[in-house]
Structure 1
Amino acid sequence: MSVQIEDAVQNSAPRIGKGGAPPPGRRRGTGRAAGKAPYLLLIPALAATAVFLGWPMVRNLILSFQNLNMKQLIQHLTEWRGFGNYSDILGGEQFWRVTVRTIVFTGVNVVLIMTLGVLIGLLLARLGKKMRLVLSVALVLTWAMPVIAATTVFQWLFDARYGVVNWVLDKLGWHSMAHYDWVGSQLSTFFVITVLIVWQSLPFVALNLYAATTTIPKELYEAARMDGAGTWKVFTSVTFPFLKPFFLATTFLEIIWVFKAFPQIFAINEGGPDRLTETLPIYAFTEGVGNLHFGMGAAISLLTIVVLLGMTAYYLRLTLKQEEDEA
């Protein structure tokens, strides 16, 4: 048996000629071609990205320097404003109010999503096979539901006259909620939107973190319990260190997903009432398409990207700094 293993190792090992040179039968250009292969494989993806994402971004950038409305569109006029659109946006109070509102809205949703997602992920790890299968199927069905379809369901649930939520609250004794208008005020509208977005986001976080728990060796749990560690101590010393890379990556993705949420907010109340629930994507659409200020809308959309990049860069900086301190 040992002879066979040695023969296999010798046969699989690369043959090297005299002085460390490759064998005569091997061409020197083969290694260079192999090194370029990954870059060649990236060309189709980079080309598609440049066409479908890069070019629209360039067009949007050009549009943001123009004064474009229905008059210019009909007459095919091009009126350049330079940085006029940007100065009007940054000089007004509306943009900064919407920006702060968007950041707070994103933070609240991400905290709720990650907290509940971790709890459900840990619950999946502790359930039996049958109950785990039932809960996993429910999560997958929730995740697979189209965004507009889910938003329509929530509109019916929270409808003022025929909504199930008002009916249940009325039956439980809160008779003042029988015909409550959930989209009539800023806080109640944000409550409905938050419940909707958290409900849609939980399956991704829960299933992702549950998959991460399957990589944790069971011997570590046994050793921690033998040392007298309780449930919280086991989580902080064993579970979370293994989940941390998945947790940070998932949080990063959720920040992006919640920040750019558009169909849920627009379909619920179009940023109302009185534009009090507008976030930056809704604000850009309202100014660009709703008010027919296309140059202004383009400038707001680019500023939205800048704000998102700033948030994600700050988060990544904190993450990298924390990893360096732990190392």
Structure 2
Amino acid sequence: MAISFQDYGLRAIFTGQAGFAGFTNYTNVLTDASFWPVMLRTVLVTGAMVIGTIGIGMAVSQLLTRLGVVMRTVVSVVLVLAWAMPNVASSLVWQWLFQPFYGVLNWLITQLGVFGDHTQDNWASSPGQALTIVLSLVIWQAVPFVALTLYAAQSQIAPEYYEAGALDGASAWAMYRSITLPALVPTLLLVTILSVIWDFNVFNQIWLLTKGGPEDTTLTLGIWTFVKSFVSNAYGQGAAIAVISTLILGALTSYYIRRLVRSGEEDL
């Protein structure tokens, strides 16, 4: 944080001395023509990642409740392995899957013979496709945590509620809406806040797959911080962007903590 108030550039790295800049770095960042487009893009990309993660995670957790012991164990192990995979390694696997000429996905689409020859299709060169591969990778990595957490919460719901609903003739959807969802609200709020924090700060996956391109389609605050600091050598401005991101996430976290405290007071 101290660097955000200093005139810290390439010269400061060699001399070890950086002058005090006050709020100049923050002013430069906030008045930069790229700031608000990057901020809006970060919010939209984060929202898409969170919605996809929570939606698929809820579906997978519901699936786990309907599987037998053996299949549930197998699926749970697969989810844990996917979640435990380092994001750098998974990003490299994603590069290989979507690689032109040798990519598995391009080969598979071409073999289907429905969409023509896509062996030379470079997903990272198209804004829509680049965003698709980034979103799919992040969501794929995040779904296991959400699914297993929601499944654990759902397994704590007393079966008597479902038995009473069945006796009343309620459908599966009605019981899910009136019994399961209300019980999952605290856990859903928790995993949503955590997903927002993680997805807002996504860096490795975007940098390794697209480096913020093409046409700045995947240029988020995390990528912009890196570019400002280590490409433009404006370390003070990069630190200012990081502080602004932390303040935004701090506000979201404080909202969750207030909700948690209020719910605890109501229980008392």
Residue 68 of structure 1 and its aligned partner are, at CA, apart by 1.8
Give the Cα–Cα distance (whole angstroms) in 2 for the partners of residues 189 and 322 of structure 1.
41
The one-character-per-residue Cα deviations of 1:248-303 (angstroms, maximum 9, x if unpaired) are 11111111111111111111121122433111111111101121111111111111
Give the Cα–Cα distance (whole angstroms) in 1 for the partners of residues 64 and 16 of structure 2.
59
| Secondary structure of 1:175's aligned partner | coil
Q: Which sections of structure 2, spanning at least 5 residues, go unmatched?
A: none
Partner residue of 2:55? 115
What percent of counterpart residues are identical?
Answer: 38
Give the 3 Å change call, closer, same or farther, for CA 226–267 of structure 1 in structure 2. Answer: same
Give the Cα–Cα distance (whole angstroms) in 1 for the partners of residues 103 and 21 of structure 2.
48
Give the 3 Å change call, closer, same or farther, for CA 129–233 of structure 1 in structure 2. Answer: same
Matches within 5 A, 1:51-66: 61-66=1-6
Partner residue of 1:177? 118
Amino acid at match of 1:182: W
Partner residue of 1:157? 97
Please say which of residues 207-216 and 268-277 is displaced more in the overlay: 268-277
Give the 3 Å change call, closer, same or farther, for CA 225–299 of structure 1 in structure 2. Answer: same
Matches within 5 A, 1:238-249: 238-249=179-190
Please say which of residues 166-175 and 191-200 is displaced more in the overlay: 166-175
In the alignment of these two chains, the number of paired residues is: 267
Partner residue of 2:127? 186
Partner residue of 2:246? 305
Partner residue of 2:193? 252
Matched, 1:138 2:138: no
| Secondary structure of 1:298's aligned partner | helix
Partner residue of 2:144? 203
Give the Cα–Cα distance (whole angstroms) in 2 for the partners of residues 324 and 90 of structure 1.
39
Residue 77 of structure 1 and its aligned partner are, at CA, apart by 3.5
Give the Cα–Cα distance (whole angstroms) in 2 for the partners of residues 143 and 311 of structure 1.
24
Give the 3 Å change call, closer, same or farther, for CA 122–315 of structure 1 in structure 2. Answer: same
Matched-pair contact (CA < 8 Å) for 2:190–2:256: no
Structure of higher CA gyration radius: 1
The one-character-per-residue Cα deviations of 1:220-253 (angstroms, maximum 9, x if unpaired) are 1111011111111110111112222111111111
Corresponding residue to 1:106 among 31, 38, 46: 46
Partner residue of 1:232? 173
Report the RMSD for the aligned CA atoms in angstroms. Answer: 2.3
Question: What is the TM-score when the length of structure 1 is the normalising length?
Answer: 0.76
Matched, 1:87 2:5: no
| Secondary structure of 1:93's aligned partner | coil
Residue 82 of structure 1 and its aligned partner are, at CA, apart by 1.5
Matched, 1:262 2:200: no
Matched-pair contact (CA < 8 Å) for 1:248–1:319: no
Amino acid at match of 2:143: L
Amino acid at match of 2:217: L
Amino acid at match of 2:146: V
Q: Pick 1 or 2: higher relative contact order, CA cutoff 8 A, min separation 6.
A: 2
